Structure 1
């Protein structure tokens, strides 16, 4: 990617972020914030990895054909505006959360002796999970590269990195999974999704800890030198977003996450580096760091086009594919379908958007659908050899997809059972 493309796309996406926040506070229509996203997506598409590019082009073609079909059959113009929005709130949240990487110096810590043994692995699992809840994929790279400097990462350590990251999708407000779920299941509430997502996360961590620590090699493996006093940031930011959502219910969670992330980063840089150095750091990130999310930006935009097209076709033809009743059994079936789709290589962005566009109009309890989508995202990326995090671990640390699959299938079965049980409990409590 050329520096000019990175710089222009970075400022375009920052402009979209500003317009998105302005539209949340004023009568400005939100689709205006989608225009810079599409311009950036056009610039970034040639820079996307070949495998991901194929899926993106397919989404763009199918979505465009569906919109054309819908227009011919009298589809409402609202679906065209929805496509123009380009999932801008989710993309802007992703961009805003990326600024938080500037607040962690974990990757610059001086190399030294790594802690070893089961206790060190457990601390790494918990710490990497909390880091990942806010820093997303960056946490996997930070922790993984530090371990790889000491020795070749083993499959057990790779499994630890994978689980610590994937479990975040059950509950984290800073995860793209939560952002897209709140859009795909309109009416779902962050507080409810987090409240029921945390028990699933705890179960996932418990199962992962049991699997990892019982490995014969666990007592000889090294963990990350996790400093617990540095974990205040993810906990603090998550609480700020949750309480801010209760105080400003009219603002979307995605907007609150975006504002909180950028504001916190700016304040942190100001206090630690001063106004001049802090500003320069922010500008460098805008002109080079934001473009690192090229794949996600283009994929989310393409998914928005697909969702608008599918919804437009279903509406124009008066088709109803959703079941007449969406209870825990239907939620469990949907969850299984999402995992199967992930195993075929379909990105969770695509499957969640499709499930939302088909099911949301007929679902009476959007929180039930939201929980199902979050569970499908987490289990799908943890099990599928084609998920972004798995591909990163496979290529970066030379761990085969088959090895991770062998280590993951029991976890997937256990967690599917736990998720299904929680969905049943939720329906009995509401």
Structure 2
């Protein structure tokens, strides 16, 4: 494990404090929004030089644009700008991502948690996809490394294996309530009907797995391609966590959003699961996580915070320049949703993370009622397939850094898949719009 510097460890502590303060705010006893945003941004500032060059450039552009728009709105159009609150965009999402990261402290994720059978052929590809998909609904990106490292023990990962990892995880964005995509959506459109999203998104995700298996069997000789299947016992933890979230959401803390529940529940479960080993053991694991894992999240944290600042800046400027009643579309129905999906997905090919397109779109729409659910499906669909094909998406950059595959090679191999799934998403958009 790479040794961290005092600066990085301090940044990890600030990020942890941001999570703790955010959880404290759920009690409703005090307002913590300013403190959380300042702590998280301070952590990013300390880690800025460590962020990969491309990600740093992208985040820097977003920050510059967001701040510049606020300045223009204030001094050109005379808008009232709440400067102390300008850094609060997406802090709910970032706090949830930090909370979810503590799932790695539950058990021994890198060892027994991933134990399962190994097989080859199309069945192996499908089971790799299924394992990454379902375990990834809770563990997110860490699942790719957990399964990928197991497969890599037999030799360098092949393109079919990498594509199964990529698509298995990214397609979970269509329905998983634990994904950052869902957190962003709920933050932007809090009245979204999750049940409707899941009823359409989950079957679409299953089609993704089937299409991946059939396509890879046609394009590659899979006879010697090793697959990986998670054992049923390994799925007990993510299923149990999902049930706990539903328990809190519907009965114990119905006033809190799913994002808020996940933010405090996963760290809480991680803490309780370690306490039987003793307080000293527990503190040692938390300290290690704080000083190593949290600083390693600098890329995604900086991107989400920067996109949040852009959203605040753009919405403020648009409101000041065009009036608060101006929106991109007078109504948000199937045609507008389809155009938005295509635009966001194509922007991912150009290297923009879907969160940018989703955030920008939300800031220039005035959605009411069921339009929010339709927007949510557009956002999740573009996220699922934009990240799978985008050369600079988090999943492809992670695969490049871990296993040495070019993000552009992943993009090339995913173009046909993304086109086919996008056609299905467009049909699903029409279904969701009709359902309203």
TM-score range, shorter chain: over 0.9
Deviation larger for 187-196 or 140-149: 187-196
Deviation larger for 336-345 or 352-361: 352-361
1:15-414 aligned at under 5 Å gives the runs 15-29=17-31, 30-72=33-75, 73-78=77-82, 80-108=83-111, 114-224=118-228, 226-247=230-251, 248-271=253-276, 273-319=277-323, 320-360=326-366, 365-401=371-407, 403-414=409-420
What do residues 33-69 of structure 1 show as CA deviations (whole Å, max 9, x unaligned)? 2111121121111111111111111111111111111
What do residues 267-306 of structure 1 show as CA deviations (whole Å, max 9, x unaligned)? 22224x3332122111211122211101111122211211
What do residues 110-162 of structure 1 show as CA deviations (whole Å, max 9, x unaligned)? 99994333333322211111121111111111111221121121111111111
Q: Is the 8 A contact 2:107 2:273 kept in 1?
A: no
Alpha-carbon distance in 2 for matches of 1:341, 1:197: 22
Q: Is the 8 A contact 2:327 2:364 kept in 1?
A: yes
Alpha-carbon distance in 2 for matches of 1:74, 1:240: 48
Q: What is the count of residue pairs matched by the alignment?
A: 428
Q: Is the 8 A contact 2:70 2:317 kept in 1?
A: yes
What TM-score, normalized by structure 1, do the two folds share?
0.93
How far the C-alpha of 1:81 sits from its partner, in A, is 4.9
What do residues 297-318 of structure 1 show as CA deviations (whole Å, max 9, x unaligned)? 1122211211111011011113
Deviation larger for 49-58 or 120-129: 120-129
Q: Is the 8 A contact 2:117 2:228 kept in 1?
A: no
Q: 1:62 to 1:238 in 2, by over 3 A?
A: same
Q: Is the 8 A contact 1:184 1:356 kept in 2?
A: yes
Deviation larger for 131-140 or 102-111: 102-111
Q: Is the 8 A contact 1:326 1:364 kept in 2?
A: no
Alpha-carbon distance in 1 for matches of 2:119, 2:106: 24
Alpha-carbon distance in 2 for matches of 1:243, 1:198: 21
Q: Is the 8 A contact 1:363 1:369 kept in 2?
A: no
SS in structure 2 of the partner of residue 336 of structure 1: helix
Q: 1:236 to 1:71 in 2, by over 3 A?
A: same
Q: 1:21 to 1:111 in 2, by over 3 A?
A: closer
Kindly indicate which of the two structures has a greater share of residues assigned to helix.
1
Q: 1:239 to 1:62 in 2, by over 3 A?
A: same
How far the C-alpha of 1:400 sits from its partner, in A, is 4.0
Q: Is the 8 A contact 2:353 2:390 kept in 1?
A: no
What TM-score, normalized by structure 2, do the two folds share?
0.91
SS in structure 2 of the partner of residue 217 of structure 1: coil
Alpha-carbon distance in 2 for matches of 1:104, 1:76: 50
How far the C-alpha of 1:238 sits from its partner, in A, is 2.1
Q: 1:121 to 1:70 in 2, by over 3 A?
A: same
Alpha-carbon distance in 2 for matches of 1:104, 1:158: 26
Q: Is the 8 A contact 2:131 2:229 kept in 1?
A: no
Deviation larger for 329-338 or 403-412: 403-412
SS in structure 2 of the partner of residue 115 of structure 1: strand
